[in-house]
């Protein structure tokens, strides 16, 4: 099973490092690559508050993912680099395809593209766009995905759809990966999974899942694939999980206490026993057993969140410890 890491990216991501800077992110990227991770990931928000996670509604700044991944490609030569996930509403599909083709060239053909329908209304408001209802957002995502994929595959693309239009648009230079970099969609709803089956190479969902809940979503995906005549084994599957490992229960408890101390206020007001449910959390043996179970459910890549909220990292030591257990 491949192993990925959600890198720090926001002003809340690393205690004492606000605003977040590229050198800090690069240090985590270098350490993760040396530890054996297979991929590194950034998300896509203009800014983000933590009210959804029990924190404050203060807006935290963020590094833009496409530019940041291009910079990181120069300091980590081996790992794949990906977006988890890009909000399609923030960039026109033709402009996005151009940026992604360039990024694949800059990374030497190591790009994985994750796209999403968007959910964070404040950033829609910030760009003067009313956030469409869920159904319209998913239709936009499907159309944008088809258009981005067509552009990345080369040639001139003329398109007239519900949301987008192009007139002999093209991407030049084309990506290194042929026919194009892999494109997956992020989410968990029935309509999202139907869109995955119809137009996407893969599927990701994050950040807290029990095996039973995940298995039910896989069954929905399999039915969606059957509806369009697709073999579900052709849909690559990655799963994002918060993760923490200790040598034994005492060490795990100490690491959890440290994580809580280094987390944004309000986001980790719970016990270890409550928090570990739906997360890749436990002793060395427990975490390995959990990873094996996820592999048995068809997960091909685990993307770890080594913190309490998305793209937050409690300690560099936790990043390396997880790799030692799962890749050692």
Give the catalytic positions in this structure.
Answer: 45, 121
Contact predicate 173/154, CB 8 Å: no
Q: Tokens for 9, please give them.
A: 């990216």
**What is the Cα–Cα distance from 328 to 314, expressed in whole angstroms?**
21
How buried is residue 197: exposed, middle or buried, by Cβ count under 10 Å (0-12/13-18/19+)?
buried
- The closest of 255, 249, 270 to 307, measured between CA atoms, is 255
Residues 6+ apart with CB under 8 A from 310: 6, 43, 206, 207
278 CB-side CA count, 13 A: 10
Residue 118 zone, left/alpha/beta (φ > 0; ψ -120 to 50; rest): left
End-to-end CA distance of the chain: 12
Contact predicate 59/74, CB 8 Å: no
- Where does 180-270 show beta strands of DSSP type E? 183-186, 202-205, 236-246
Residue with token string 């896989």: 218
* SS3 state at 199: helix
């Amino acid at each position: 099973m491949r192993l990925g890491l959600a890198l720090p990216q926001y002003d809340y991501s690393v205690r004492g490092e606000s605003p977040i800077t590229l050198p800090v992110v690069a240090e985590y990227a270098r350490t993760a690559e040396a530890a054996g991770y297979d991929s590194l990931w950034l998300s896509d928000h203009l800014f983000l508050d933590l009210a959804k996670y029990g924190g404050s509604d203060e807006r935290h700044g963020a590094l833009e993912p496409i530019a940041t991944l291009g910079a990181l490609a120069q300091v980590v030569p081996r790992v794949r680099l990906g977006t988890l996930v890009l909000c399609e509403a923030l960039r026109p599909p033709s402009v996005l395809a151009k940026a992604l083709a360039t990024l694949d060239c800059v990374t030497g053909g190591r790009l994985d593209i994750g796209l999403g329908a968007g959910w964070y209304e404040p950033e829609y408001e910030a760009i003067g766009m009313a956030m469409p209802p869920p159904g319209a957002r998913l239709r936009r995502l499907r159309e944008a995905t088809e258009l981005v994929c067509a552009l990345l595959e080369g040639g001139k693309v003329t398109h007239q759809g519900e949301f987008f239009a192009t007139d002999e648009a093209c991407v030049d230079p084309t990506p290194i990966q042929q026919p194009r970099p892999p494109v997956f969609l992020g989410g968990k709803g029935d309509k999202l999974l139907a869109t995955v089956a119809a137009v996407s190479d893969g599927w990701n969902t994050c950040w807290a899942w029990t095996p039973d809940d995940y298995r039910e979503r896989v069954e929905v995906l399999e039915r969606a694939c059957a509806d369009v005549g697709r073999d579900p084994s052709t849909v690559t599957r990655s799963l994002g999980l918060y993760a923490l490992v200790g040598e034994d229960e005492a060490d795990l408890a100490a690491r959890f206490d440290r994580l809580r101390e280094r987390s944004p206020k309000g986001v980790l007001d719970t016990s270890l026993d409550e928090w570990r449910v739906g997360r890749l959390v436990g002793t060395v043996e427990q975490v390995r057993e959990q990873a094996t179970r996820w592999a048995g459910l068809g997960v091909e890549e685990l993307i770890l969140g080594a913190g309490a909220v998305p793209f937050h990292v409690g300690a560099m030591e936790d990043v390396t410890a997880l790799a030692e257990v799962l890749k050692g």
